[in-house]
Amino acid sequence: DTAVSQTPKYLVTQMGNDKSIKCEQNLGHDTMYWYKQDSKKFLKIMFSYNNKELIINETVPNRFSPKSPDKAHLNLHINSLELGDSAVYFCASSPRQVNTEAFFGQGTRLTVV
């Protein structure tokens, strides 16, 4: 069973479109994250949710809107896509304890053309 699953794995879309990436974890974790990995491989946290509550919003444009319908899901909706949004987006989850790693999804490669 996949612990953290993201869909789709690849997403190619035109500028100006709206798209969503879905994430689900079956680990029972309290906290979920979205990370953006740019072309230089830098991993930057975008959002963190704890029990469906938004905890961290790292100065992400408001075109990005995360939604957590329940503890196991954290979806990312992006409005009015721009070329600079092209990146790999990773969903991750972690339990409350600090001494356990974050588990990552396989990533979604978003290409805006």
The nearer residue to other proteins, 12 or 55, going by C-beta atoms, is 55
Q: Does 63 sit near other proteins (CB under 8 A)?
A: no
The nearer residue to other proteins, 14 or 70, going by C-beta atoms, is 70
Cα dist from 11 to 35, 89, 111, whole Å: 16, 11, 6
Provide the minimum distance between the beta carbon of 43 and other proteins in the complex, in angstroms, as a whole number: 4
CA distance 4 to 19: 20
Provide the minimum distance between the beta carbon of 80 and other proteins in the complex, in angstroms, as a whole number: 26
**What is the C-alpha end-to-end distance of the chain, expressed in Å?**
34
Coil, strand or helix at 13: strand
CA distance 20 to 26: 20
Here the contacts of 43-46 (C-beta below 8 Å, separation 24 or greater) are 43/90, 46/76
What x-and-dash track marks residues 66-105 binding other proteins by CB under 8 A? ----------------------x-x-x-x-x-xxxxxxx-
Which of 33, 66, 75, 87 is the binder for other proteins (CB under 8 A)?
33
| Joined tokens for residue 33 | 């994250």
Residues in contact with other proteins by CB under 8 A are 31, 33, 35, 40-45, 48, 50, 55-56, 88, 90, 92, 94, 96, 98-104, 106-107, 109
